[in-house]
Amino acid sequence: MLKILKYSFYDLMRSRWSYVYFIFYLLLGFVLLFLNNDVSKAVITLMNIIIVLTPLIGTIFGVMYYYNSREFTELLLAQPINRSKIFMGQYIGISLSLTLSLLLGLGIPFVAYGLFKSAAIFDFSLLLVVGSFLNFIFVALSYNIALSTENKIKGFGYAILMWLFLAVIYDGLFLISLMIFNDYPLDKFSLIATMFNPIDLSRILILLKLDISALLGYTGAVFRKFFGTNVGMLISMFILILWVVFPVFRINRKLRKKDF
Amino acid sequence: MKFKIFFFLFFSVLTISAKQIEVCHSCTIKTISEAIKISVAGDEIFVKKGIYKEQNIIIDKSISLIGEKGAVIDGENEGGILIFETDNFTIKGIKIINVGISYTIDYAAIKVVKAQNFIIEDCILEGVFFGILIEKSKKGIIRNNKISSNRKNEASSGNGIHIWSGSEMEIYNNELFGLRDGLYFEFVKKSEIYKNVSHDNIRYGLHFMFSNHNIYHHNEFRNNGAGVAVMFSKFITMYNNTFKLNWGSASYGLLLKEIYDAEIYNNLFEENTIGINGEGCTRINYTNNTFLRNGWAVKIAGACYANIFEKNDFMHNSLDLAYNSKVNDNKFENNYWSEYTGYDLDKDGVGDIPYRPVKLFSYIVNKTPEALVLLRSLFVDIINFSEKVSPVFTPDNLMDKKPIMKRIND
Amino acid sequence: MIEFKNLHKSFGKLTVLDGLDLSIKKGGIFAILGPNGSGKTTLIKCLLGMVIPNKGEINFNNKSVLKKWEYRDNLNYLPQIANFPPNLTVIELINMVKNLRPKESEESKLIKLFGLEDFLNKKLGNLSGGTKQKVNIVLTFMFDSELIILDEPTTGLDPIALIHLKELIQEEKAKGKTLLITTHIMSVVDELADEIVFLLDGRIYFKGSIEALKKQTNNNNLEHAIANLISKQYA
């Protein structure tokens, strides 16, 4: 698996898109910090970008890589290697290269700016952790879609649709249902609904750092327990890990029955 | 001769009146109560190092009660400790611990009734029910004291400095923590509170009720259960105070309720659930304050008229302003808003397009508090944007027409 | 050497292999023929473990191959379409495949044979279809395995490369290897194949030597003989 990982990683690290992605983050970091001179504001803007963009890029890279390397994958499948190792190698290769683009692209400007002396270091590291998780989650989700869809165009469409659903539509439905069932106690519902969407979950994790003063304004006991203690942080992190584990598990299950 | 005798008597009276009474475990006078009993007006009682287990000491003579370092009065949780019922007294350097709790009587470490011209300074009051309780008094100075308690709930705890009916008080350099309210004013006039630190209290750091014409400044209020409350008062001036880390569902940096004609300037509101919560506030000027990383910088609940927000910095608050009505009679102008995305083409330092501090999302959260978990989501940004373009739910005249481009109170 | 027993495979409603039985003995060149969609590629992929049969058994050297992967060390496969990671160079790809298999390899001779020396440090994304196919062939023949499976090996090759490929195939045969070839080019079959396996409707319709086929169809030309077989399907 490590060998496949290594080559997928090399391959991607040399692709133009990895550079575009890397340079995008690099520019973003520099622009935010040096034109703005305000680390807190930079972190908030970055959060908005990271929770929307990393899933999108992860999804697109995942599907593209799967469909583009289909023939090569066939060649690999004829080699004496376990199927799931091939795909896990590719999966980790893509996720890692994307994560590296993110970490370096944002890390360099922030280090250059002198982040280590700033109090925002924790918020910033959390952003990077969440961004990395989102990469791993969305590449896994898009691999699931690609594995289940033979047609490249359809697969691409489904993947984008999934992103759109999780990034925007889900929250819309969520908000509407909160408003419709206004008369009922909704704190449990709203927390659980958050857990079912990795983008929302990541957002909550960052909110726990950035907007804790607002979050504690709500009266519900469940809310208070969740946001007021470390419970929220731990649960969110744990579920974020599950969001990686389940799609990966499903990839492996799907592979057992899959024809190439 | 007569004259000489008179002179002698006069001097002896003077020396007697200025006499110092020492209290210690090895002295002839072993308790403070004893010392008070034999003292006359003008005497100084010097309490030497040691622990004195006494309660309900009533002082009705104008004396000075001075403590040596290490002089401690232990009330053994059985009631009040010192009760001054006289004018012109001083208490200094005494440490008082373990005041009793009662649900019917307000036991205090130092209680002052109907007094004038007194000084309470350098005292440490620990494990108190009420710390300093002052009734119907005026012209007192309370300074450099440290008052604390460790009670867990509101009912079993009292206030640090509690003044009921008073005027011309001066309260400064005190530290108050672990109490119900750090400072409590009811029917107090013309008083000044400054350079105090009131933190980690169960309810309010500072609480004003029916107290007009007061000034408080350079105080720090942090991590209190509900922040600072100023209620039913007129002509209060508040400046250079810091309000921070007041977190919770009913927590504010500053709660203003039924307030008229106040000046609020140069204050810092940092990381509170709500920076300022205003209900029924009229003619209040908010100038040069900084609102940094609060949940809501300002929440205006209703019946607030002619409030003016000018030259304030609104920085990185989750929501800048919450408004529960569609009518607006308050003015926002020349503030700095970190969320402002407009431009300044003519380079005069003022943004060319107005800023709308009330977002649609803040309106939604008012109606459906659980929606808060969707803060900063892309969907919320989209609906906020559409509301910004054409306001439907939020007051459309509520805007800062001249937002400043750079921080004002840096 | 290879045995397929009662092999069933369908993709959705489309049945591709329908109770196929086939055994292939060790040594020689076997051409797997059949009209489009007759299941040639599916059959090979079943053997390679890329397609999982609905029913049936596949043995390679008397061991079942289903759900296994180790046996693949003893076979080489040339896929139909050569498409490699575009950002790797040719030599990196060769090294990678070498790296994946514990076996000895002798790629240098093959690289020279197909004139790929100048391309070794080029990215695979920049190569022409024919050159990619040459790389593909190098990857297939550089290992010494008992079984070699070639799926449409002649696609995109220039005449010289084609001659080299045929030579290679003959060489391997001479070493006693077993070769499975699918192709639509009858001249190649005529030239190389020892035995023909003809698939139709998901079953083996004919298995035997070219001579036997010609005899059975009463046709001296292989192309026509095959056409004859296929036309029977439509009749």
Mutation test of the interface with chain A: which of B249, B375, B377, choosing the one with the most A Cβ atoms within 10 A?
Answer: B377
Mark whether B70 and B210 lie in a shared domain.
Answer: yes
Subunits in contact with chain A (3 or more CB pairs closer than 8 Å) = B, C
**Are the Cβ atoms of C51 and A80 closer than 8 angstroms?**
no
Choose one of B220, B241, B276: the last residue of a domain. B220
Mark whether B243 and B187 lie in a shared domain.
Answer: no
Supply the pLDDT for residue B409: 82
Per-residue burial over A186-200, b if 16 or more Cβ lie within 10 Å, else e, is: bbebbbebbbebbbb
User: Residue C99: which domain range?
Assistant: 2-234
- For A111-132, what is each residue's pLDDT tens digit? 888 766 677 788 888 899 999 9
**CB-CB neighbors (< 8 A) of A89 in chain C:** none
Tell me how many residue pairs between chain A and chain C have CB atoms under 8 A apart: 82
Measured distance CA(A50)–CA(A44) in Å, rounded = 10
Mutation test of the interface with chain A: which of B372, B385, B393, choosing the one with the most A Cβ atoms within 10 A?
Answer: B372
Mark whether B153 and B266 lie in a shared domain.
Answer: no
Pick from C73, C79, C87: CB nearest A71: C79
User: Residue B36: which domain range?
Assistant: 20-220
Mutation test of the interface with chain C: which of A5, A13, A19, A77, choosing the one with the most C Cβ atoms within 10 A?
Answer: A77
Tell me how many residue pairs between chain A and chain B have CB atoms under 8 A apart: 114
**Are the Cβ atoms of C87 and A260 closer than 8 angstroms?**
no
- Structural domain count, chain C: 1
Mark whether B194 and B212 lie in a shared domain.
Answer: yes
Measured distance CA(A200)–CA(C41) in Å, rounded = 45
Q: Do chains C and A touch (3 or more CB pairs under 8 A)?
A: yes
Mark whether B179 and B267 lie in a shared domain.
Answer: no
- For C22-35, what is each residue's pLDDT tens digit? 888 888 899 888 88
Whether pLDDT at C47 is above 60: yes
Q: What percent of chain C has pLDDT over 70?
A: 98
Phi (first) and psi of residue C194, to 5 degrees: -85, -35
- List, in sequence order, every residue forming a beta bridge with B47; answer none if it has no partner: B23, B67
Measured distance CA(A196)–CA(A198) in Å, rounded = 6
Phi (first) and psi of residue B147, to 5 degrees: -120, 125
Q: Classify residue B386: in a domain, yes or no.
A: no
Pick from C45, C50, C100: CB nearest A81: C100
- For B205-259, what is each residue's pLDDT tens digit? 999 999 999 999 999 999 998 889 999 999 999 999 999 998 888 889 999 999 9
Interface of C with A in 156-185 (CB under 8 A): none
**Are the Cβ atoms of B295 and A220 closer than 8 angstroms?**
no
- For A86-109, what is each residue's pLDDT tens digit? 899 989 999 999 999 999 998 888
Mutation test of the interface with chain B: which of A35, A203, A205, A213, choosing the one with the most B Cβ atoms within 10 A?
Answer: A213
A96, containing H or E segment: helix A83-113
CATH assignment of the domain containing B170: 2.160.20.10
Pick from B315, B369, B375: CB nearest A211: B375
Give the count of alpha carbons within 13 A of C16, CB side only. Answer: 21
Choose one of B196, B220, B244: the last residue of a domain. B220
Calculate the average pLDDT of chain B. 89
Numbered residues of chain A with Cβ closer than 8 Å to any chain C Cβ:
3-4, 7-8, 10-12, 14-15, 68-72, 74-83, 256-260
Pick from C70, C79, C86: CB nearest A78: C79
- Burial class for A105, CB neighbours closer than 10 Å (0-12, 13-18, 19+): buried
State which residue of chain C sits closest to A78, comparing Cα positions: C48
- Report the gap between the CA of B351 and the closest CA in chain A (Å): 16
Supply the pLDDT for residue B1: 54
Q: Classify residue B129: in a domain, yes or no.
A: yes
- For A47-64, what is each residue's pLDDT tens digit? 889 999 999 999 999 999
- For A29-38, what is each residue's pLDDT tens digit? 888 887 776 7
- For B134-155, what is each residue's pLDDT tens digit? 999 999 999 999 999 988 787 7
- Structural domain count, chain B: 2
Mark whether B190 and B324 lie in a shared domain.
Answer: no
Nearest one of A128, A133, A115, A123 to A210, comparing CA atoms: A123
**Are the Cβ atoms of B377 and A207 closer than 8 angstroms?**
no
**Are the Cβ atoms of A80 and C87 closer than 8 angstroms?**
no
Q: What is the DSSP string of B65-89?
A: EEE-TTEEEE-TTSS--EEE-SSS-
Ordered by start, the domain boundaries in chain A are: 2-257
Q: Classify residue B8: in a domain, yes or no.
A: no
> Which one-letter DSSP state was computed for residue A38?
-
Whether pLDDT at B13 is above 70: no
Mark whether B291 and B161 lie in a shared domain.
Answer: no
Measured distance CA(A15)–CA(C157) in Å, rounded = 28
Mark whether B270 and B201 lie in a shared domain.
Answer: no
**Are the Cβ atoms of A7 and C92 closer than 8 angstroms?**
yes
**Are the Cβ atoms of B271 and A213 closer than 8 angstroms?**
yes
Residues 6+ apart with CB under 8 A from C1: C24, C25, C26, C60, C61, C146, C147, C178
Pick from A171, A210, A214: CB nearest B379: A171
Interface predicted TM-score of the whole assembly (ipTM), two decimals? 0.88
**CB-CB neighbors (< 8 A) of B294 in chain A:** 213-214
**CB-CB neighbors (< 8 A) of C99 in chain A:** 3
| Average confidence (pLDDT) over A53-76 | 88
- Report the gap between the CA of B104 and the closest CA in chain A (Å): 31
**Are the Cβ atoms of C73 and A259 closer than 8 angstroms?**
no
Measured distance CA(A192)–CA(B373) in Å, rounded = 11
- For B310-319, what is each residue's pLDDT tens digit? 999 999 898 9
Mark whether B175 and B199 lie in a shared domain.
Answer: yes
**Are the Cβ atoms of B364 and A194 closer than 8 angstroms?**
no
Whether pLDDT at A246 is above 90: yes
- Report the gap between the CA of A108 and the closest CA in chain C (Å): 25
Supply the pLDDT for residue B84: 94
**Are the Cβ atoms of B376 and A48 closer than 8 angstroms?**
yes
B161, containing H or E segment: strand B161-167
Pick from B293, B370, B379: CB nearest A213: B293
Q: Classify residue B55: in a domain, yes or no.
A: yes
| Average confidence (pLDDT) over C99-106 | 82
State which residue of chain C sits closest to A12, comparing Cα positions: C87
- For C157-176, what is each residue's pLDDT tens digit? 888 888 988 888 898 889 88
CATH assignment of the domain containing C65: 3.40.50.300
Choose one of B220, B245, B262: the last residue of a domain. B220
State which residue of chain C sits closest to A13, comparing Cα positions: C87
**CB-CB neighbors (< 8 A) of A256 in chain C:** 52
